[in-house]
Amino acid sequence: MRDASTSAHEPVTDTELGNLVAHWRAANYLAVGQIYLKGNPLLGEPLRPEHIKPRLLGHWGTSPGLNLVHTHLNRVVKARDQDALCVWGPGHGGPAVLANAWLEGSYSETYPDIGRDADGMARLFHQFSFPGGVPSHVAPETPGSIHEGGELGYSLSHAYGAAFDNPDLLVACVIGDGEAETGPLAASWHSNKFLDPVRDGAVLPILHLNGYKIANPTVLARVPEPELDDLLRGYGHEVLHVTGDEPYAVHRAMTEAMDTALDTIALIQRTARDGGVTERPRWPVIVLRTPKGWTGPSTVDGLPVEGTWRAHQVPLPAVRENPEHLRQLEAWLRSYRPEELFDHDGRPLPHVLACVPEGARRLGSNPRANGGLLLRDLPVPALEPYAVQVDRPGATLHEPTRVLGDLLESVMEATSERRDFRVVGPDETASNRLQALYGATGKAWQATVLPVDEHLDRHGRVMEILSEHTCQGWLEGYLLTGRHGLFSCYEAFVHIVDSMVNQHIKWLKVSRSLPWRRPIASLNYLLTSHVWRQDHNGFSHQDPGFVDHVLNKSPEVVRVYLPPDTNTLLSVAEHVLHSRDYVNVVVAGKQPCFDWLSLDEARAHCARGLGVWEWAGTEREGEEPDVVLACAGDVPTQEVLAAAQLIRHQLPQLALRVVNVVDLARLLPETEHPHGLSDSQYDALFTRDRPVIFAYHGYPWLIHRLAYRRAGHPNLHVHGYRESGTTTTPFDMVVRNNMDRYQLVMDVIDRVPGLAVRATRARQAMEDARLRHHTWIREHGTDLPEVADWTWQPETGGGDGPPR
Amino acid sequence: MRDASTSAHEPVTDTELGNLVAHWRAANYLAVGQIYLKGNPLLGEPLRPEHIKPRLLGHWGTSPGLNLVHTHLNRVVKARDQDALCVWGPGHGGPAVLANAWLEGSYSETYPDIGRDADGMARLFHQFSFPGGVPSHVAPETPGSIHEGGELGYSLSHAYGAAFDNPDLLVACVIGDGEAETGPLAASWHSNKFLDPVRDGAVLPILHLNGYKIANPTVLARVPEPELDDLLRGYGHEVLHVTGDEPYAVHRAMTEAMDTALDTIALIQRTARDGGVTERPRWPVIVLRTPKGWTGPSTVDGLPVEGTWRAHQVPLPAVRENPEHLRQLEAWLRSYRPEELFDHDGRPLPHVLACVPEGARRLGSNPRANGGLLLRDLPVPALEPYAVQVDRPGATLHEPTRVLGDLLESVMEATSERRDFRVVGPDETASNRLQALYGATGKAWQATVLPVDEHLDRHGRVMEILSEHTCQGWLEGYLLTGRHGLFSCYEAFVHIVDSMVNQHIKWLKVSRSLPWRRPIASLNYLLTSHVWRQDHNGFSHQDPGFVDHVLNKSPEVVRVYLPPDTNTLLSVAEHVLHSRDYVNVVVAGKQPCFDWLSLDEARAHCARGLGVWEWAGTEREGEEPDVVLACAGDVPTQEVLAAAQLIRHQLPQLALRVVNVVDLARLLPETEHPHGLSDSQYDALFTRDRPVIFAYHGYPWLIHRLAYRRAGHPNLHVHGYRESGTTTTPFDMVVRNNMDRYQLVMDVIDRVPGLAVRATRARQAMEDARLRHHTWIREHGTDLPEVADWTWQPETGGGDGPPR
C-alpha cells in the first residue's frame, strides 16, 4: 500500500481546505434540503411543519460521501484542467449529485427555471422526489450522469466503457460497499487488464466503505484492512486509504490521496505513451472509509443513526408530526451554517465555489456525459462488395455471421484513426464467426502474452472477457459517451444481462424525452449460436427468450430483427449500426444457411420488415391463398420453404402463400409500436380468414402476444421452441419442438377446410418421414439424408399429391 | 502462501502414486473414447473410420484436469472416510465426470444397461452426445451431480449452498479459469464470510487454471502468481499451488495439496467446534495449473493444440476423413495403455480402482447429490394462529409480508434442531418486512461484528448478501441437497437471476423424467417491494417482467401466484413450502393492504386458484353479468374493487361480476399447463361474450398470451403496467399506467354495449376525478384524499347514476 502522504505535490493551504469544507457543507445542506424542505430553503425563519414535504423520500446515508468526492474531484479537475467524468455507483444518492450540479451552475444551465438563487434553491428542493419533479436517484435527468445506479453493479464497467478510446479522460467511479458485493461489480475489477494506457483514458475507482447497506454491514467494510488491501492488490491496484470522521482531517487526507492518484495516473500514461513501456501498470484505487450518514443526526429516538444502517434513507422520519424530530432537523440543517455558504439571495458565496471548475470541465457539463453531442456517423461501407451473389433463391449456402464479419472488419478499419467503434463478446467472437475483425484490429489485452497466443493486441478494439455483465457494462459506457459498438453473444446466455438491458432501455426511454440529451448510438446485439443450433451443447444452451424479455419494454426503444439469410443480415446490420437511441436485437445464425435474397431484394425486404415471397408460394394472381405459411428466423424459414416445396409436390392445387418476417414488431398494431402494421396492411399479407401456419424462431406464444388483436388471429397457428431440447442433431431439434417441415405440412392439411380427407396419402407420407427420422438418428446419429441434403427446387413440380 | 509440502501427513508411496496415475489414465481414456468411438472400445483391433462417431461432440480441454481432481478426491475420501460431493464448474467436461462415475461403478448402478464391462464401455461411448443418449455436459442425468455448468458462474455458490447445515460434508468445487471471469463466480468467493465452521460443512475451491477459454487466454492465468495469491488471500483463503505438466510430479503434488487442505479444514472445524474459537478462519484453496487438453495431441495439422485454446472441444476434428487424424487418435488412445487398465472383458483392473471409495462415499453415489432421498417434510405450522381476523371484506388492513414473517419465524423455530430451512435475500429481509424471522434465528455472519449491529449470528439461517446471484446459487445448492428455503427479493431485481432460474428450471424438468432422481423442495420466490409500490425509488425499481420470463419455461415446473391479501398469502405460502420440484413465484405486497378474505375463504379461493367474489359484484343469480371485472395482484384487486364500488353507485343497474385470480396458470388451457382451466370452466367464470376488463399486476399482454385461445378472448381488455414509472405517489403509478379505478370504470362504460350514451354523466365524473388527481398531486405531493382514505363499503348503495 502506498502512503498517500508521501507524494510530491503541494499540500493544500488552510484556506483552500476551508473552502473545500465549505463546498462540502453547502452540498450537504442542499442534499438535506431536497429530502425535507418544500419551503423556507435558507432557514430565514424557524422551521415549521408546513415547511416540510408531505412524503419524505430520498437517501441520505451515502450523500455526504458523494459530496466529499465531488468536492475533491472539483479541486483536481480545476487545478489540472483535467477532462473528467464521474460515475456515481451509489446513484440512489440523487440529492448529493443534484446539489453539486446546482452549486457549479450546470443545473441552472440545463434547467433555466431552477436558477442558482433562493428561488431556484426552493424549486430544487421542492421538485426532488415530488410528483412532476425529478426522481430520487441519479437519472438521465441529472446533468453529467451516464449511470442510474438504482440496480447496483454496473458502475465500474460503465466507467471503463467511458474511458476506452478517450485518452485524455479521467473517469472517477464511486463504488459503494453494497454494490461491491454484487457479481457484475466484482467481475468488473478485472477491466484493468483491458485498459490501454496509451489509447484509453484512466479509471479511478473510489471504493466508499460507509459500512452498511440497507440493513446489514457490508462485507468489505468488515474484513481486516490487510485482507482488503490484498484483494485490491490482487485486482491489480495500488491502494490509497482515506479514513476518518473528523471533517478537516478527512478532507486533507482526500486532497493528498487525489493528488497522489492523479500523479500516479499521469506517470503511468506518460511512461506508456512517451516511454513505450508495455508492462501492465498498477492503477491507483482510493478506499474512502467514512461514516454512513456522516454529519447527520447522531441518534434518533434513542437509537444510533449516524454511522449505522439507520442513516440509509430518511434519518428523521416523522418531522411533520414529531416536534423533537423537527427540532433535530433544524439543528442538523443549521449545523452546516448556511448563512456562511449562501448570500441573502441564496447564491453560493465565492469561497464555496472556489474549487469549482469552469464550463465543460464541470462534472455536470462535460459533453462526454451527453454522448450524442460528440457522436459521429459510423462509416459503414457500401454493402455491395460484401453481399453474396444470389442468382436464384436457395442455390447457395453461406454462414451469415461470417460474411457480417467481413463488413465489420471494414467498419473497424475505417475507424482505426477515429477509434469510436468496438465489438464486445464473452469469448465468442471467433466462435460466432466474426474473426475477420482480426484483420483490422486485435483483442484488447494488457496481461501477459505467450508466443502461442493469437490476435492479442494492446490497442485492440475487440473486447473479450467471459463475463456478459462486463461486456454489457463496457459497451453501455462506451455508447453513452458518444461512440458505437456491437455485442455478439450466444443467444441463450444474453439472459445473463436481462436486468442490465432493462436499465439501459429505461435510461434511453427517459433520455428521449429530454431535449438536451442528444441521441446516442443504439445498443446492438448480435445473438447467434442460437437455440436451434446448440444441438452440440444441449439444453442449457437453448433459450430464445431474450426477444420476449426485450419486447416487454418501451416500444419507442426496442427493435427485434430476425434476418433469414446472409444478405438480409447485412442489410439489417447496416440499419442498426446507423440507428440511434434503440436497443436492437438481431438474431442470426452462424451455420451455413441458404441464400434466399439478393442484396437488392434483401434491402427491399428489410425495409418493409416483412413480405410475401412470391417465388416460394403457389397462389394465383388476384385470388386469396388457401393457406399462409409464415416464418421468422433462419431455421424456421428453411423449414417453411421445405414445407412449401413438399406442398407444391404433394398438394399441387393448394394455393399457398409464404410470408417472411424480419422485423418482429411489424406484427404489432400500429398503436402499440412505431413499426406496427395497420390492420389493413396486416390483413393484406396474412388474410383475415385463411389459416396461417407460422414457424417462429422462439417461444410460439410470443407471436400470439403480438398479433392477438388482428382479425385473422383465431386462424393463426404458431410453431416454435417449446423448451424441448438436449444434445442431438439439428433437425431433431425442430422435430422435438414440432416445427419441422413434415409437421408444418400436416398442420396445413389439418387446417385447410376440407383438405384432410382428400390429403390422406400426403399426410401419411409426412408421418412416415417423421418416423423415419426417429429411427434414423438413433441408428446413425446424423440427420436423414433427405433432410441433410435438401435443397430448394425452384421449378414448379407437377406433383403426385391428391387432387383438390 | 502456505507450501503444500510442509504438512504433517504421510506422503503417498510410489505404488499408491502409480495407482492414482493409472486411474487418471483410465478416466482420460474413457473421456476420449466417449468423444470419438462408436465401436472398438478397447482397441482390440486397429482403429478404422467406421469405429468413429459420425458427429464429434464434446469438450476434451478441461477433461484431464477434472479427471485429476476426481482421482484425488477419491483418494482422500477413501482414506478419511470423508462424506464428500464435488461441484464440477467446467460442467462441459461431461466425458470426464461420466468416465469417473463408470469407473467407480456408480454409473452402472444407476443405469444397469451400462455395465462396468466391455459391452457397457461400448454403450457408454456410443450414448455420449448421441441422439437418444446422454448430453455432452454434466447434467441431471449424471450421477453425483447437482450442477450443469453449461452457463458458467454458479459452481461456487452451489457448493456453499450444499455445505450449509451439512457439518460433516466436504464440498469440493472445481472452478475453471473461464468461469472465474464471470460476475456471479467473482461475487461468490465472499461466501466464506457466511460459512459457519461449527454448523456448516467445508467448501474446498479448486481453481483450475488451464490457461484458455474457447478462444482466449484467461485473466487469472495471466496475472503474476503473487498477484493471484493476493487476490485469493483477499478473498480470505490460504493458497495451495499445484503446477506442472509432468504427470507423476503433478499427481504427487496434488496428493500433498489435498492432504494439506483437508488437514487444514479438519483443524479449522475442530478449533471452532471443540475449542469454541470464533475468529473467521482462512479456508484453503487449491490453485491447479495444468495444460488445457493435457495428454492430448500436442500438435494437429502443424498447429499447437495441447496447452492451447485449440484443445477446448474436439482436438482432432476430421478423424473419419483424414487418415493422419485417425492415426493420431489411435496413438493418443493407446498412449494411455488401455491394456494395463482394463481386462479383456473391459473391466477396470484392481490397481486402477485402488483409490476408489465404496458405496455412498463414491462421488457418484452420495445421496446428498440426489437431495430428494434425504428430504423431510417442512414443519409448517397450522395457519390459524397467524391468519388475520376478517369479519367482512375490506374492513381492516395488514402488511401481508409482515404477517408471513410471523409464519416463517415459526418454521425457522421448528427447524432449529434439524436446520434444513433457510431464507435468503439481498439485504432486503427487513425491508421486505420479514424481520419476525429474527425472533428465531439471526443473519449468518462470520466477519467482524460491532456493538451497534443487530441480529448478526454466527449460526444464523437468514442469509443476506447484496448479490442476487449469490443468494440464488446458495439456495439452489441448499435445495438440491435436500433442504428447504425461500428467496425474498425486490420484484424488479429478481431479473438479475433470470438466467440462473432458467438453468434451475431446466434441471428440474429433466430431473422429473429420471425416476432415480427423487423430488426436491421447490425453489420459492417471494417477490415484494413490487412495481406498484416502488413509487419512492422510481423507474429503475419498477419491473414486473419476471413472471413473463418464468412462464416461458416448462409448464410442469413453473407456478405463479398473486395473492391479493394477507390470508391468501399465508395459504399460498403453506402450499409452496410443502411443494416439490417446482419453481414457485409468489408476488405479494409489503404495504398495508385491505383484508378481503378470512382464512377459510382464502384457502378455498387459493385451492381453486381463481374465483368469483360474489360479495363484490352486482350480478343477479342465474343471469349472466353485463360485464366482468377481473384482477390479479394486490394493487389491481384494490383498484378493481374501488371500480366495482364506483359502478355500484354510479351505474346501479349494471350486473357486474368480480373475478380474482391467484394462480395465473389457471388462465392457460388445460392442454398447456397442469393448472389450466378447461374451456367450460373458463367460460363459466369469464363468460363467452361479455366484456372482461382485467386489471393485472404486470405487463397486460401476458394475460392475452395466456388466454388467447378462449372463446371470450376478443372481449378481453387488460390493464397493467406499461413501462410508465418514476418517483411519484402510489396512486399516480396506477393512473400513469391506466389501471386506476376511474379508468376501469370508463372502460366498463365504453365496452358494455349501449351503455356509453346512457352513462355520460358517470363517465364525465371519472374523467373529472382523474383531472383532480393530476392537479392535486402536483400541488400536494400526496394522493387525493378520496383515494388515500378509500375503504370498501359493503352495503349496496342506491346510487345516483343514470338508469339503464
Q: What is the DSSP letter of A329?
A: H
pLDDT class for B138, splitting at 50, 70, 90?
A: very high
A216·B427 Cβ contact <8 A: yes
Return the pLDDT at A795: 66
Helix ranges (H only) for A177-298 are: 183-188, 225-234, 247-273
Cell numbers describing residue A482? 458518444
Average pLDDT value over all residues in chain B = 96
Q: What angle do CA B521, A183, B524 make, to 5 degrees?
A: 20
Residue B269: helix, strand or coil by DSSP? Answer: helix
**Three-state SS letters, B91-112:** CCCHHHHHHHHHHHCHHHHHCC
B183·A467 Cβ contact <8 A: yes
**What residue has cell string 478510446?**
A165
Cα B710 versus chain centre, distance: 32
Q: Does any domain span residue A56?
A: yes
pLDDT class for B803, splitting at 50, 70, 90?
A: very low
Residue A423: helix, strand or coil by DSSP? Answer: strand
pLDDT at B4 over 60: no
Return the pLDDT at A622: 85
Q: What is the DSSP letter of A715?
A: G
Are residue A584 and residue A622 in the same domain, yes or no?
no
Q: What is the DSSP letter of A52?
A: B
Question: A–B: how many Cβ contacts below 8 A?
Answer: 354
Collect all residues of chain A within an 8 Å Cβ-Cβ radius of residue B188.
183
Collect all residues of chain A within an 8 Å Cβ-Cβ radius of residue B539.
135, 139, 150, 506, 510
Q: State the Cα–Cα distance between residues A204 and B411, nearest whole angstrom.
A: 47
Q: Does any domain span residue A797?
A: no
Beta bridge partners of A172: A86, A204
Q: Does any domain span residue B794?
A: no
Segment B133-154 shows an average pLDDT of: 95
Are residue A700 and residue A758 in the same domain, yes or no?
yes
Digit-coded pLDDT (tens) for A213-268: 999 999 999 999 999 999 999 999 999 999 999 999 999 999 999 999 999 999 99
Among candidate residues A280, A256, A97, A283, the one with its CA nearest the CA of residue A174: A97
Model confidence, pTM: 0.97
pLDDT at A58 over 70: yes
> With contact defined as beta carbons under 8 Å apart, do A309 and A215 qualify?
yes
Domain with residue A412: its CATH number is 3.40.50.970
pLDDT at A794 over 90: no
Dmax (CA) for chain B in angstroms is 99
Residue B690: helix, strand or coil by DSSP? Answer: coil
For A443, nearest residue in chain B (alpha carbons)? B216
Cross-chain CB nearest to A503 (options B443, B502, B540): B540
Q: Does any domain span residue B598?
A: no
Element (H, E) at B736: helix B730-736
Q: Report how far apart, in Å, the C-alpha atoms of A499 and of each of A3, A187, A473, B46, B668 are.
A: 39, 16, 12, 55, 27
Return the pLDDT at A796: 52
Parallel, antiparallel, or unpaired: how do β-strands B299-300 and B303-304 relate?
A: antiparallel
Dmax (CA) for chain A in angstroms is 99
pLDDT at A5 over 60: no
Mutate to test the interface with A, among B552, B583, B710 (most CBs of A within 10 A): B552
Cell numbers describing residue B77? 475420501
Return the pLDDT at B8: 60
Q: What is the DSSP letter of B298?
A: S
Q: What angle do CA B424, B429, B432 make, to 5 degrees?
A: 130
Beta strands in B106-184 (DSSP E): 169-176
- Residue A793, sorted as left (phi over 0), alpha (psi -120 to 50) or beta, turns out to be beta
Return the pLDDT at A17: 98
Collect all residues of chain B within an 8 Å Cβ-Cβ radius of residue A727.
57, 129, 133-137
The type of residue at A269 is: Q
Q: Does any domain span residue B374?
A: no
Return the pLDDT at B342: 98
Q: State the Cα–Cα distance between residues A716 and A708, nearest whole angstrom.
A: 9
Digit-coded pLDDT (tens) for A593-634: 999 999 999 999 999 999 999 999 999 988 999 999 999 999
Average pLDDT value over all residues in chain A = 96
Domain with residue A712: its CATH number is 3.40.50.920
Q: State the Cα–Cα distance between residues B250 and B258, nearest whole angstrom.
A: 12
Are residue A240 and residue A155 in the same domain, yes or no?
yes
Q: What angle do CA B118, B124, B125 make, to 5 degrees?
A: 95
Residue A451, min C-alpha distance to chain B (Å): 11
**What residue has cell string 454434466?**
B138
**Three-state SS letters, B563-596:** CCCHHHHHHHHHHHHHCECCEEEEECCCCCEECC
Digit-coded pLDDT (tens) for B364-373: 999 999 999 9
Pick the last residue of a domain from B593, B622, B650. B593
Parallel, antiparallel, or unpaired: how do β-strands B83-88 and A692-696 relate?
A: unpaired
Digit-coded pLDDT (tens) for A681-708: 999 999 999 999 999 999 999 999 999 9
A549·B548 Cβ contact <8 A: yes
pLDDT at B641 over 90: yes
Are residue B475 and residue B587 in the same domain, yes or no?
yes
For B223, nearest residue in chain A (alpha carbons)? A447
**ipTM surpasses 0.95:** yes
Collect all residues of chain A within an 8 Å Cβ-Cβ radius of residue B282.
none
Return the pLDDT at B804: 33
Q: How many domains does chain A have?
A: 3
Cross-chain CB nearest to B781 (options A55, A213, A468): A55
B150·A541 Cβ contact <8 A: yes
pLDDT class for B586, splitting at 50, 70, 90?
A: very high
Digit-coded pLDDT (tens) for B166-200: 999 999 999 999 999 999 999 999 999 999 999 99
Q: What angle do CA B88, B90, B94 make, to 5 degrees?
A: 80
Are residue B324 and residue B419 in the same domain, yes or no?
no
Query: Which of A310-314, B126-130, B531-535 is predicted least confidently?
Result: B531-535
Q: What angle do CA B554, B557, B562 make, to 5 degrees?
A: 105
Collect all residues of chain B within an 8 Å Cβ-Cβ radius of residue A129.
536, 727
Q: Find all residues with CB under 8 Å of B588, minimum gap 6, and list them.
A: B400, B401, B404, B526, B527, B528, B530, B562, B563, B569, B572, B634
Digit-coded pLDDT (tens) for A286-296: 999 999 999 99
Are residue A180 and residue A293 in the same domain, yes or no?
yes
Are residue B555 and residue B701 in the same domain, yes or no?
no
Q: Does any domain span residue A571?
A: yes
Return the pLDDT at A9: 76
Are residue A503 and residue A637 in the same domain, yes or no?
no
Digit-coded pLDDT (tens) for B738-753: 999 999 999 999 999 9
Digit-coded pLDDT (tens) for A74-126: 999 999 999 999 999 999 999 999 999 999 999 999 999 999 999 999 999 99
Cell numbers describing residue B38? 462408436
Cell numbers describing residue B335? 498412449
Are residue B250 and residue B109 in the same domain, yes or no?
yes
> With contact defined as beta carbons under 8 Å apart, do B240 and B208 qualify?
no
Q: Find all residues with CB under 8 Å of A600, minimum gap 6, and list them.
A: none
Residue B574, min C-alpha distance to chain A (Å): 27
Cell numbers describing residue A217? 454491514
Please provide the DSSP assignment of A730-776 as one string. HHHHHHHTT-SHHHHHHHHHHHSTTHHHHTHHHHHHHHHHHHHHHHH
pLDDT at A2 over 70: no
Q: Does any domain span residue A377?
A: no
Q: What is the DSSP letter of A769?
A: H
pLDDT at B16 over 70: yes
Residue A110: helix, strand or coil by DSSP? Answer: helix
Collect all residues of chain A within an 8 Å Cβ-Cβ radius of residue B496.
151, 153, 498-499
Return the pLDDT at A427: 92
Mutate to test the interface with B, among A727, A728, A778 (most CBs of B within 10 A): A727
Beta bridge partners of A202: A170
Pick the last residue of a domain from B351, B366, B381. B366
Among candidate residues B9, B68, B24, B86, the one with its CA nearest the CA of residue B351: B24
Q: Does any domain span residue A368?
A: no
Are residue A620 and residue A586 in the same domain, yes or no?
no
The type of residue at A701 is: W
Return the pLDDT at B713: 96
Q: State the Cα–Cα distance between residues A267 and A723, nearest whole angstrom.
A: 55
pLDDT at A8 over 70: no
Q: Find all residues with CB under 8 Å of A172, minimum gap 6, and list them.
A: A69, A73, A84, A85, A86, A87, A159, A203, A204, A206
Q: What is the DSSP letter of A193?
A: G
Q: Which domain holds residue A769?
A: 610-788
Percent of chain A with pLDDT over 70: 98
Return the pLDDT at B7: 47
Are residue A543 and residue A467 in the same domain, yes or no?
yes
Mutate to test the interface with A, among B152, B189, B219, B512 (most CBs of A within 10 A): B219
Return the pLDDT at B535: 80
Are residue A401 and residue A497 in the same domain, yes or no?
yes
pLDDT at A800 over 70: no
**What residue has cell string 405440412?**
A745
Q: What is the DSSP letter of A87?
A: E
Pick the last residue of a domain from A338, A358, A378. A358
Percent of chain B with pLDDT over 70: 98
Parallel, antiparallel, or unpaired: how do β-strands B692-696 and B716-719 relate?
A: parallel
B499·A502 Cβ contact <8 A: no
Residue B498, min C-alpha distance to chain A (Å): 6
Q: State the Cα–Cα distance between residues A405 and A242, nearest whole angstrom.
A: 48
Q: Report how far apart, in Å, the C-alpha atoms of B356 and of each of B34, B249, B363, B529, B760 are.
A: 21, 21, 9, 51, 83
Mutate to test the interface with A, among B300, B540, B703 (most CBs of A within 10 A): B540
Q: State the Cα–Cα distance between residues A562 and A558, nearest whole angstrom.
A: 14
